[in-house]
Structure 1
Amino acid sequence: MKRTIQSVLCLLFITTILVSCGDSASLQRYFVDNQESSNFISQDIPISMIKLDKSNFTEEQNDAYNSVKRLNFLAYKTSETDTDIIYKEELATVKTILNDSKYTDLMEFSDKGRKIIVKYIGTDDEADEVVVFGSAKELGFGIVRVLGDDMSPDKMATLFTALQGANVDESQVQDIMNFFK
């Protein structure tokens, strides 16, 4: 009897381990798998390190900005030695991950051949994670995972709109800018 109980418990434990170690693709796994690759750049940026002129922000935009704690950034750069096939494969991988049903569309826009998609994980009232994905065939693509507390999708949408016209000191993101040169 004791041996049967031990066998059942052991089987349950092994089953739990195997189920929890699913092989499904995730954005976090994609970041980890590619952060050391030569065509990628990865940075973890605390929001406190980004100096931004918030004097024109509304109260809602200010609340949204203050709810953000850090940004995880991963970018892929196209190069002359890189084949178009590799770029398309990497792009397809990211798009497949972002097409998962756990991501909800927030906004999408194009500007000068560059496409930006903003999605989030969470409910209509609170986003657990906001993802900004931008791509341009001649440059490559970048993904920003916005992580924080009490982030609202509506407030984040207004914040992203405000950031489009904001003055950002480029010296703060110089490493990222240099990567795409």
Structure 2
Amino acid sequence: MQRTINQLICTLFAIAILVSCSSGVSLQTYFVDKQEAKNFISQDVPLSMMKIDQTNFTEAQKDAYNSVSKLNFLGYKADENNAEALKVEIDIVKTILSDAKYNDLVEFSDKGRKILVKYIGTNEEADEVIIFGSSNELGFAVVRVLGNNMSPDKMVNLVGAIQKAGVDESQLNDIMNFFK
């Protein structure tokens, strides 16, 4: 009898573990699966390595900047031969980002380019911020912003500040050249 109970408990424990493991694709597994694939580029960029002029940042912007530790970048290059594959890959990323764990932050379009910003976490603290940009001419890019004590509101404020700040574009040459 004791042996049967032990087997039943072990079986229930194994089932619980298997059920708790998601069979769906996560953004992290998508990054890993595609980092070496054709037409993709992948880079991890510690924010400390980027030279960003912070002289005009407010204290809130500096706090937001300092809460970011690294950026994971994954890009897909479009060309005349892979238009259908581009649509498939964009649909995969959109499906992943449609999961309820991703909260909407900002979405906008400009000159045929679509930008979507989402985050995982609460309104007070984001565990991860995701920036997804796509263009039929260029392809798409997904950036995972990782750090500690990130706030969604501060991240929106930080994006605006970085756009105005002097960023040494030579740091992004590998990525920019990939899309040419």
The alpha-carbon deviation at position 48 of structure 1 amounts to 0.6
Aligned to 2:120: 121
Unaligned runs of 5+ in 2: none
The alpha-carbon deviation at position 102 of structure 1 amounts to 1.1
Look up the equivalent residue of 2:167 and give its one-letter code: V
Aligned to 2:36: 36
1:44-83 superposed matches below 5 A: 44-82=44-82
Query: d(CA) in 1 for partners of 2:156 and 2:27?
Result: 21
Aligned to 1:102: 101
Aligned to 1:180: 179
Look up the equivalent residue of 1:103 and give its one-letter code: Y
* 1:68-127, Cα deviation, whole Å (9 max, x unpaired): 011111011112332x21111110111111111111111122222211111111111000
The alpha-carbon deviation at position 16 of structure 1 amounts to 2.6
Look up the equivalent residue of 1:93 and give its one-letter code: I
Look up the equivalent residue of 1:60 and give its one-letter code: A
Query: d(CA) in 1 for partners of 2:143 and 2:130?
Result: 6
Query: d(CA) in 2 for partners of 1:106 and 1:139?
Result: 24
Query: d(CA) in 1 for partners of 2:111 and 2:162?
Result: 18
1:80-99 superposed matches below 5 A: 80-82=80-82, 84-99=83-98
Number of positions where the alignment pairs a residue of Structure 1 with one of Structure 2? 180
Contact kept, 8 Å, 2:52 with 2:162, in 1: the verdict is no
Which secondary structure state, in structure 2, belongs to the residue aligned with residue 110 of structure 1? strand
The alpha-carbon deviation at position 52 of structure 1 amounts to 0.4
Aligned to 1:147: 146
RMSD of aligned alpha carbons:
1.2
Query: d(CA) in 2 for partners of 1:143 and 1:176?
Result: 12
Which secondary structure state, in structure 1, belongs to the residue aligned with residue 74 of structure 2? strand
Query: d(CA) in 1 for partners of 2:163 and 2:135?
Result: 17
TM-score (norm 1): 0.94
Which secondary structure state, in structure 2, belongs to the residue aligned with residue 146 of structure 1? strand
